[in-house]
């Protein structure tokens, strides 16, 4: 088996994690979150950040214990049970397989808002076609422009927040420091929690740095730090950005909540800046969709190669391009569901799988380091290996049940399908499911 070269530093890993999170998505989802929380977007992000920090702590603990790729699937399998690990892997597959659909749906919604005469399905088909073609040929082209795309979206985000601050500062009746974006007595906790459940979509990817474990120098020390730093920095960007944008647009009234940030962009910077914002958002969504589809197709290939999925369908590479063409096309076909789903349901559907994976990681810490610990437990053990992950698991489950009811139904159907497939794969649960080897596909 080939050994990956360890060349990545803490800085490199953190930048990868932030790029994967796509910081400009805080603007892409702003209208949706403002509507869900009745104008307390920053508060929803702050609540989501607290929950994600506890889960990030558990990821860090397990990344130091198991310095290999695989993330929630590997941790659950090794710490709890192989069959339970398979089900968590199945839940993670939900994220990977449907994430490109959600990313392209966001892009299509904003383009449709800017060009209402062009049907939204046209934009979705363009996203699917162009991204699939690039990924089929290979992602070297994407790699060469990914850093530029990241820089552009960060500049646009910074400009958006800067103009929002300037807009508020220019109005004597609007203070720059106000609790309203964070907390309003008239807004119930259930609304903020529902918003936090959606806001967690922006954090998806903080755990992706674990896939770089085998390419990182001193991974046992660097990866846990990187996970916490990515969560803190990303969360800081989301809370800070949404705070000032909410000040510039108090309340939650929009012509279209799905593309609410475009309306705000026009108010604070005029039509020209609204166009610049749209370009930045689409660039960010395109880059994110490109990497998400590539990641999903590689995961399907790994599962096919290892016999977790049918090898003949998923475990093949194209003879010329040496890419999993069938899996890339499958991701494109799945993304066609965007034609039938709204943004809120699709985001919640993705978060369903994420919350299950996050919960399992917290439980894995308890199983490995607390229940499985021999000898006396110290006060530090009680806090680090029981209290913190237990609260993290409870927070993840709390956010999960706060999701859109349609998403919970779809997520439940997905889990039942996984359980049926596991029964077939293990001949009625009598055998252990095949173990995936992420080393060659990380």
Find the domain containing 289 and state its range.
Answer: 21-435
| Residue 343 within a domain | yes
| Residue 352 within a domain | yes
What crossing angle do the helices spanning 343-365 and 30-37 adopt, rounded to 10°?
A: 80
Number of domains in the chain: 1
pLDDT band at 2 (very low <50, low <70, confident <90, very high): very low
Asked which of 96-100, 391-395, 416-420 is least confident by mean pLDDT, the reply is: 96-100
| Residue 12 within a domain | no
CA separation for the pair 32, 2 (Å, rounded):
45
Percentage of the chain exceeding pLDDT 70: 94
Question: Does position 35 have pLDDT exceeding 90, yes or no?
Answer: yes
| Residue 156 within a domain | yes
Residue 8: what are its φ and ψ, rounded to 5°?
A: -85, 140
Asked which of 50-54, 290-294, 388-392 is least confident by mean pLDDT, the reply is: 290-294
| Residue 351 within a domain | yes
| Residue 4 within a domain | no
| Residue 185 within a domain | yes
Give the mean pLDDT of 9-24.
83
Q: What is the residue-averaged pLDDT of the chain? A: 87
pLDDT band at 89 (very low <50, low <70, confident <90, very high): confident
Question: Does position 141 have pLDDT exceeding 60, yes or no?
Answer: no
CATH of the domain at 35: 1.20.1740.10
CA separation for the pair 425, 419 (Å, rounded):
10
pLDDT band at 442 (very low <50, low <70, confident <90, very high): very low
pLDDT in tens, 180-221: 999 999 998 899 999 999 999 888 878 777 767 767 888 888
| Residue 261 within a domain | yes
């Amino acid at each position: 088996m080939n050994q990956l070269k360890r060349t990545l530093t803490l800085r490199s890993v953190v930048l990868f994690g932030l790029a994967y999170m796509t910081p400009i998505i805080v603007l892409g989802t702003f209208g949706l979150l403002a509507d869900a929380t009745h104008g307390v977007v920053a508060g929803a992000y702050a609540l989501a950040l607290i929950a994600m920090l506890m889960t990030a702590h558990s990821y860090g603990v397990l990344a130091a214990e198991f310095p290999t790729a695989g993330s929630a699937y590997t941790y659950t399998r090794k710490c709890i049970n192989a069959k339970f690990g398979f089900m968590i892997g199945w839940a993670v597959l939900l994220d990977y397989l449907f994430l490109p659909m959600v990313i392209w749906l966001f892009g299509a919604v904003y383009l449709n808002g800017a060009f209402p005469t062009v049907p939204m399905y046209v934009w979705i088909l363009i996203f699917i076609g162009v991204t699939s073609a690039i990924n089929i040929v290979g992602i070297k082209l994407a790699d060469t422009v990914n850093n530029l795309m990241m820089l552009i979206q960060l500049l646009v985000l910074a400009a958006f927040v800067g103009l929002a601050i300037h807009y508020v500062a220019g109005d004597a009746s609007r203070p720059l420091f106000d609790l309203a974006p964070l907390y309003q007595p008239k807004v119930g906790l259930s609304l903020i929690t529902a918003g936090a459940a959606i806001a967690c979509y922006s954090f998806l990817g903080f755990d992706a740095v674990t896939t770089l474990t085998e390419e990182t120098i001193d991974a046992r020390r660097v990866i846990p730090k990187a996970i916490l730093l990515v969560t803190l920095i990303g969360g800081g960007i989301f809370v800070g950005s949404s705070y000032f944008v909410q000040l510039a647009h108090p309340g939650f009234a929009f012509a279209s909540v799905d593309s609410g940030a475009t309306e705000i962009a026009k108010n604070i910077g005029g039509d020209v800046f609204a166009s610049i914002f749209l370009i930045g958002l689409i660039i960010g969504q395109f880059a994110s969709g490109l990497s998400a589809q590539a990641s999903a197709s590689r995961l399907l290939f790994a599962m096919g190669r290892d016999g977790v999925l049918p090898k003949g369908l998923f475990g093949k590479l194209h003879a010329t391009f040496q890419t999993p063409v069938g899996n890339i096309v499958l991701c494109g076909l799945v993304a066609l569901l965007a034609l039938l789903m709204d943004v809120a349901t699709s985001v919640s559907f993705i978060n369903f799988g994420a919350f299950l994976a996050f919960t399992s990681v917290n439980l894995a810490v308890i199983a490995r380091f607390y229940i499985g610990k021999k000898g006396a437990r110290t006060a530090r053990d009680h806090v680090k290996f029981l209290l913190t992950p237990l609260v993290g698991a409870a927070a993840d489950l709390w956010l999960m049940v706060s999701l859109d009811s349609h998403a919970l139904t779809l997520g439940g159907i997905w889990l039942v399908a996984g359980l049926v497939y596991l029964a077939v794969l293990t001949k009625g649960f009598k055998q252990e499911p095949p173990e995936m080897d992420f080393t060659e596909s990380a």
